[in-house]
A and B are shown apart, each in its own frame.
Chain A
Amino acid sequence: METALALRALEKSFSSHRVVDGISLDVPKGCFYSLLGPSGCGKTTILRMIGGFGEPDAGEIVLNGKRLNGLRPYERPVTTVFQSYALFPHLTAAQNIAFGLERRGEAPAAIAPKVNRMLELVGLQEKAGRMPANLSGGEKQRTALARALVVEPEMLLLDEPLSALDPALRKRVRIELKQLQKQLGITFLFITHDQEEALSLSDQIAVMNKGKIEQIGTPQEIYLTPATRFVAGFLGAVNWIDGIGVRPEATRISRATPGNGARTVDAQVETSVFLGDCFHVQTRTSAGVTVTAQVSHKDEPFANGDRVHVWWHAADELPVRE
């Protein structure tokens, strides 16, 4: 697949603290690409360097074959959806969306239809004349998205664009965002520290930690075959039993001895937590390790203090390197 954005050995330090430490990655054209990592790992710093807000100390940024290093933000064919949206408070939703087109010197006659089409696309026709202060969180988010998309950037940069929304709205907007990206076919570079968000939205994910990339892959690859303990742990809960990682949903417990081929350890039930769609049963092995198993309602109930066998299939062990 053709590469839209290529980062080559990108480095950036703030007062001798290396925040971005040799990042290289390729974002294919039309891809929904996520940078996933904990707070402070350097995600925003990378996005800002691509947008032109801070030059890298070393390394290259290449977009569709063109080197972006040293270009002014307004010379770069990328736009950003800011975490705080950064809507212009003195302009209406429609004027906010028109801003980029006006700056690019488009004829006024050409601007109105484009703005209207964009308002329609994000479902804001009724709110076109509202000031940002009078828009809801979701409407602000969509205005910011429309404002960045209307100038037809070669790539859209999104810095945790959903984090300011409440959880219910966030899930709905997430689906809309994914549909929009598919529909328009624009390359998205999406930043998040929410693994569920990254897994559900992305075509590709680069998992970061402390300024470095730990693993790049599809959501399934990252989740099912994490390369490092960090990736395994960041994407979901893991039981670490003698250096072997097993996810709770792949961990079984039973009173009877499990059949052949299963890996098993003896344990005692400590607590059982009802989560609605399932139980999380926490056990302690004879070696003193805490192991959590996800148990469905249909399974026999477990009480505290029950002696049980914890087991799993070898195929479900996470193949971490370190």
Chain B
Amino acid sequence: MNRLRALFLAPSAAFTVVLFLAPMAIIVGYSFMTRGVYGGVTGPWTVENYQRLFDPLYGVILWRSLVMSTLATALCLLIAFPLALFIARAEEKRKNIYLYLVILPFWTSFLVRTYAWMFLLRDSGLINSVLLSLHVIQKPLPLLYNETAVVVGLVYGYLPFAVLPLYSNLERMDKNLLEAAADLGATQWETIRRVVLPLCAPGMRAAGVLVFIPCLGAYLTPDLLGGGKSIMIGNLIQNQFTTARDWPFGAAISLALMALVMVLLLALLRRDGEEAL
């Protein structure tokens, strides 16, 4: 029996060690080294990369990343909740169709979809052209290359990650509870506020985590839709490994980001644990 268990675990264990733990170890190693002249790393060992993290310049980028990710997460939850509720309460045979529509964007590459957003938002893009031709506006609205565009892109990109856990939470909810609330005099709005939302808290937290973490590390969206002006941590890391040729510092930022995410997750898990008591 134990051998069978070992056999079953082997593929995922091997996969984790080779493709996750080994690169992690390399990154940890790099983060304590000195940058090479043409990229790469050399000796000696140092903690200087971590000291540099406290430069206020990077604090600004971290703060911006946190604010934009929080905003994007909040918007995702705000949009995903009614959508998930709608799908969960739809007719049984319709549900699957709606769920397919939710994950349909995954069928094409994220890069292509982000370019599509650029075509939509740029000065000569669809939205501005229509508004201009209808004489609603006289000159193009600055829709692209700003923080709003980045948040819109993030919300768009990660919305399905919010819809799915909320849907599964709502779908499992006892329909009798909604009827009981109505029976006791609650309007539909009160039922949502007093019964559905509180019972949806686990789904909300799962959705929040699933959206917030990739948002925090995003680099493609801020790069393309932000036009490199409002960069986030992801872009900072990317730069260190490409143009800046400072791999050790890039590694240090990556690890700091991971540590931050882990702290947030642990705080959340502790809250979950307390509620379960």
Contacts and interface: CB of A to CB of B under 8 A. Distances in A.
Are A and B subunits of one complex?
A: yes
B183 interface: yes
A145 to B, nearest CB: 13
Given A73-B183, A90-B199, A103 B190 contact: yes
B180 A82 contact: yes
A279 B184 CA distance: 49
Interface in B144-186: 174, 176-177, 179-186
A180 to B, nearest CB: 19
Q: How large is the interface on B (under 10, 10 to 19, 20 to 34, 35 or more residues)?
A: 10 to 19
Contact of B184 (A72, A84, A89, A103): A103
B96 interface: no
B198 interface: yes
A51 B180 CA distance: 10
B229 interface: no
A147 interface: yes
Contacts of B186: 74, 99, 103
Contacts, number: 62
A79 B181 CA distance: 10
A31 interface: no
A51 B181 CA distance: 12
Nearest to B173: A89
Interface residues of A, number: 23
B271 to A, nearest CB: 15
Interface centre among B180, B186, B198, B199 (most CB of A within 10 A): B180
A103 B183 CA distance: 10
A41 to B, nearest CB: 21
A219 interface: no
B41 interface: no
Contacts of B182: 52-53, 72-74
Given A86-B174, A90-B198, A99-B194, A53 B179 contact: yes
A84 B176 contact: yes
Interface of A: 51-53, 72-74, 78-80, 82, 84, 86-90, 99-100, 103-104, 147-148, 151
Given A52-B183, A73-B182, A103-B181, 4 more contacts: A80-B179, A86-B177, A100-B184, A147-B184
